[in-house]
Amino acid sequence: MGVYNLSFKIPLIKPYIDEEIISKVKEVLLSGYLTQGPVTKEFEKSISNYVGSKFGISFTSNTTGMETALRSFGIGKGDEVIVPGYTYPATASVVSIVGAEPVFVDVDINTANIDYSLIEESITDKTKAIIPVSLFGNALDYSKLNRIKKKYNLIIIEDSACSLGSSYEGIMTGNLADASIFSFHPRKFITTGEGGMLTTNNEDVALSTYSYKYFGLKTWLEDGDIKVSGNEFSNIGTNYKLTNLQASIGLVQMKHIGKLLEERRKLAKNYDNLLKDLKDVLILKTTPNSEHSYQSYGVVIQNRDKIINEMRNNGIEVQIGSIDLLRHKAFSNFKHVSNLENSKLLGQSCMVLPLYNGMTKEQQESVVNELRRVTKLYS
C-alpha cells in the first residue's frame, strides 16, 4: 500500500512532522533510552485520556494489538469471529492466527462498514466475538452493535485502525467496545511510523495484553496504573512493545489532535462540495449520530482502476479503498453466510482521494478537476 510519496505532485497523505517532534525524537535519541519506556507510557496516557478509556496499551501495530486482544479474551481453536468482508486483511488474519475461524459478513454499500442487519444470521454456537471495522474513520453504530452483543453475549473488539478522533453519540471511538485497537501507520494522521494502541476499560484485558506484549512478565494494578515485574514471568508472551522513540512522535502529534481533526473535517466538507456535480462519483456516507475522523475520503466510481492509473500518471496519488477479502486466495475458503456482493462491488470500485493536513483548497480543486476530466474519458 502506498504511503507518502514525494514523486507525486499531490500525494495521498503527508505525515504531520514539526520542529517540536524532531526535537523530541532527538531528546529521546540522546537519552539513550530507545526501547519501551516513560515516553511510551506518556503516549499511552495521552490516548486513553483522549478517548476516555481506563487503559491504553501500546503495540508495534494495530495487527499485533488485535491478535493480543483476541488472546486476552481466550478466543482460539473452535471459536468463530465475525468480520466484515471488506476491510484490510489484518482484521481477518488475526482471527486465523489465534486459531479461530473468521466468518465474513457483507458491508453496507453506503457506509462501507459492516451491515448490522446481516450479523445475526451468521451467529452460531461457536461465535465468540465480532470485529467490526470503523473503516476510513467512519464510526460504528453502537446502538445496533450493542443490541446484538447483549442478545448473544458476544465480545466486541473494534478494529479502529483508521478512526482515532471519531465518535458515536458523543462517545469517542476507543471507549465504545470491549477493546479497540488503533493504528499509527503513516496512513493515519497520528503516526509513529508503525505502531498501535489498544484501549479498554476491562482490567483483566489490560493486564493480560500488557503481559503478553512484554514477554509474559507479571503485571498488576496500582492506583489504576499497570505495573510490570522486572523478572517474574507469569505467562507465555512475546515482544510487541512500542519504543520510546516511536512514541515520542505520536506524543507530540497528540498535542495537536483537535486542530488536525478540525482541519481534516473541513477538507472533507470541501470535497463534498466540490464533488457535488460529479454524478458518476458516489461519496461514502457517514454513520448517523456520529463524527467521522476522515483518515481517508472514500468515493465509489466505475472504471476505478483505469481512473487510478490515469490520475497517478498525472501526479495525483489516488488509491484503491480497502480489500474484498473473499476474492483473495488467503481468505477464499473462509465461511460466509450472506453473499458478499457489496464487498465485491467496493473491492472493484472504491477509491480514496488525497487528504492530508496542510492540503490547500487549490490542491483539492486540482484533484476534483482531474477526476472530472478522467471520469469523462471512461464514461
Ligand X SMILES: Cc1ncc(COP(=O)(O)O)c(C=O)c1O
Binding site for ligand X (CB under 6 A): 61-63, 87-88, 90-91, 133, 135, 159, 161-162, 183, 185, 187, 196
Query: E-assigned strands of the chain?
Result: 55-59, 80-84, 86-87, 101-105, 127-130, 155-159, 167-168, 171-172, 179-183, 196-200, 217-222, 225-233, 282-283, 290-291, 297-300, 319-320, 323-324, 335-336, 350-353
Q: What is the DSSP string of 28-64?
A: HHHHT--SSSHHHHHHHHHHHHHHT-SEEEEES-HHH
Where residue 136 falls (left for φ over 0; alpha for ψ -120 to 50; beta otherwise) is: left
Instruction: Report the C-alpha gap between 57 and 66 in whole angstroms.
Output: 11
Nearer to ligand X, 75 or 217 (CB): 75
Site of grid cell 464533488: 275
Nearer to ligand X, 135 or 300 (CB): 135
Nearer to ligand X, 87 or 167 (CB): 87
**Minimum separation from the CB atom of position 187 to ligand X (A):** 6
**Minimum separation from the CB atom of position 84 to ligand X (A):** 9
Nearer to ligand X, 98 or 162 (CB): 162
**Minimum separation from the CB atom of position 32 to ligand X (A):** 27
Q: Which three cell numbers stand for residue 263?
A: 482541519
**Minimum separation from the CB atom of position 159 to ligand X (A):** 5
**Minimum separation from the CB atom of position 80 to ligand X (A):** 19
**Minimum separation from the CB atom of position 12 to ligand X (A):** 12
Nearer to ligand X, 67 or 370 (CB): 67
Residue type, 160: S
Nearer to ligand X, 196 or 237 (CB): 196
Instruction: Report the C-alpha gap between 379 and 374 in whole angstroms.
Output: 9
